Amino acid sequence: MNRILPKTLFGRMVLIMVLGLIIAQVLTTVIFYQERATFGSRTAANHFGLRMAETSRIFDRLPVDQRAGIAEEISTPEFAVSISGAALGDVVSSNEEHAEIIARGLRRHLGETRPIRVAVADQADGEFFQNDGKTILVQVGLRDGAWVTFKSSIGEPPGMLTSPRFLISMSIRLMTVIVLSLLAVRLLTKPLQTLAIAAEALGKDIHRPPLKETGPLEVQRAAHAFNTMQKRLVDFIQERTRILAAVSHDLKTPITRLRLRTEMLEDPKARAKFTNDLEEMEAMVSATLDFTRGLDRKEPLRDVDVMALLESLQADAEEVGHALTIVGKTERLAKADPQSLKRCLMNLLDNAWKYGGQVRVVVDDADGRLRIAVRDDGPGIPESEMEKVFEPFYRIEASRNRATGGTGLGLSIARNCARASGGELTLRNLPEGGLEAALLLPP
């Protein structure tokens, strides 16, 4: 069933409407022609009935020897008249209903006592009418016992479903229906498309402007429902974010106390261990706060000197003993939120240094887009994990991350930061080994 049905709503609508039109048209035509045919045969029957009655009365008065000559004289191909001494043998009537109509008409004109025999055959005689029709055979008894025989053919009008006029009118009607259904479907599917686009955009930006609640009532209702859903989602996320932020924030004071206590420990070994743990805790708390803050950070985009940013990161890295090579160059300014862009690159670099040894930043501004790729030659990431690593608090492999003190938020924050500047962040394993985190910024 699904394979026969067209894929789009538009296709389905057109199919349904055209099929409906054809069925309706065929039914109408059949009924119309049937009515017309019945009406036609009644008229013909009456017409011939009157003529037969008149002829019979005339023959009653005519001398016997003149009858045959006159009969021949008045015969036409559609109305044959002949005289016989006796009645013909049995005539089989294949259309009793029609025969009865004719018989009743004759009796009305000739009276009930006159002997009448009527037979109707549902086929044409083939001389006058080419198409389907009826042949009527009528015998009327004359006063002197002779019989006059009438033979007449009634034709049907020529071919109805195949005539060019019919075909032209049918195709005009079909075209009209197709054009109208196209308009109707556009009208129907446009709001659907708007909804689909909005839903897709919602995935990228939960704060996108709400849909316009205009148009037909059903569309208004759908748009309203969508907007309400978006609002609830935002509320929900904000509530979760607030909780997360509040917990992280409240951890700051106890961590401060612990740090002070730790500094006063006598045992240098214990002090070093406590300090490490506290630094890790603090990193998690501040990453969480960064993450929650980043979710509602909305800063205007500004022109940023990309090379200056990279060089400043390089200088900062050198101060803490990390090496960074910058490959390539761009004169182009990035349209970005400077702090988000910096945070994004810092997180990518931190990751690269953690796992990847030799770290390079490759800058490239071909085809209008600015591409900043951070490459390492570490072990990379399994393909199946490529998207998951962007999820907050997701860790590929607990041991690996614990050892290096990751918070599971670095890439989530980096991606949020990239999006704050209208950019996109993607990961891939390099063919020569190592991981590449590429930040693509729109022109």
Partner 1 sequence: MNDTLSKVLIVDDDEEIRDLLSRYLKQHSYDVNAVANGDEMRRALESGEPDIIILDLMLPGDSGLTLCRDLRARSDTPIIMLTARGDEMDRIVGLEMGADDYLPKPFNPRELLARMKVILRRARSMPKGHVPEQARFISFASWRLDTVERQLISLEGVVVALSASEYRLLRVFLDYPNRVLSRDQLMDQMHGRQGEAFDRSIDVQISRLRQRLGDDAREPVLIKTVRQEGYIFSINAMVEK
Please report whether residue 308 would count as binding partner 1 according to CB under 8 A: yes
CA–CA gap between residue 316 and residue 319 (Å, rounded): 5
For every residue of 401-429, DSSP letters joined together read HHHHT--S-HHHHHHHHHHHTT-EEEEEE
Judge contact between 110 and 140, C-beta under 8 A. Answer: yes
The C-alpha angle 264, 265, 271, rounded to 5 degrees, equals: 115
State the nearest-atom distance from the C-beta of 15 to partner 1, in Å.
58
Residue in 23, 327, 333, 398 binding partner 1, rule: CB under 8 A: 333
Looking at 200, 319, 331, 367, which residue binds partner 1 (CB under 8 A)?
A: 319
Stretch of 4-12, 217-225, 236-244, 251-259 lying at the interface with partner 1 (CB under 8 A): 251-259
The DSSP result for 57-74, as a single string, is HHHHHS-HHHHHHHHHHH
Query: Shortest Cβ distance from residue 442 to partner 1 (Å)?
Result: 17
Residue from the set 72, 218, 235, 311 that interacts with partner 1 by CB under 8 A: 311
**Cβ closer to partner 1: 253 or 384?**
253
Provide the β-strand partners of residue 136: 120, 152
Least distance to partner 1, CB of residue 370, Å: 14
Angle subtended by helix axes 268-295 and 252-263, to nearest 10: 160
Asked if 338 is part of the footprint of partner 1 (rule: CB under 8 A), the reply reads: yes
Q: Give 98: exposed, middle or buried? Use CB within 10 Å, 0-12, 13-18, 19+.
A: buried
* CA 261/CA 115 separation, integer angstroms: 135
Task: Say whether residue 256 binds partner 1 (CB under 8 A).
Answer: yes
Q: Which of 339, 358, 401, 429 binds partner 1 (CB under 8 A)?
A: 339
277 counts as binding partner 1 under rule CB under 8 A: no
Residue 296 sits in the site that holds partner 1 (CB under 8 A):
no
- Rounded to whole angstroms, the Cα distance separating 415 from 428 reads 14
Distance (Å, whole) CA 437 – CA 440: 10
- 312 is a contact residue toward partner 1 (CB under 8 A): yes
Q: Does 242 bind partner 1 (CB under 8 A)?
A: no
Using rule CB under 8 A, residue 273 touches partner 1: no
Residues forming contacts to partner 1 in the complex (CB under 8 A) are 249, 252-253, 255-261, 263-264, 278, 282, 285-286, 289, 293, 302-305, 308-309, 311-316, 318-319, 321, 333, 338-339, 342
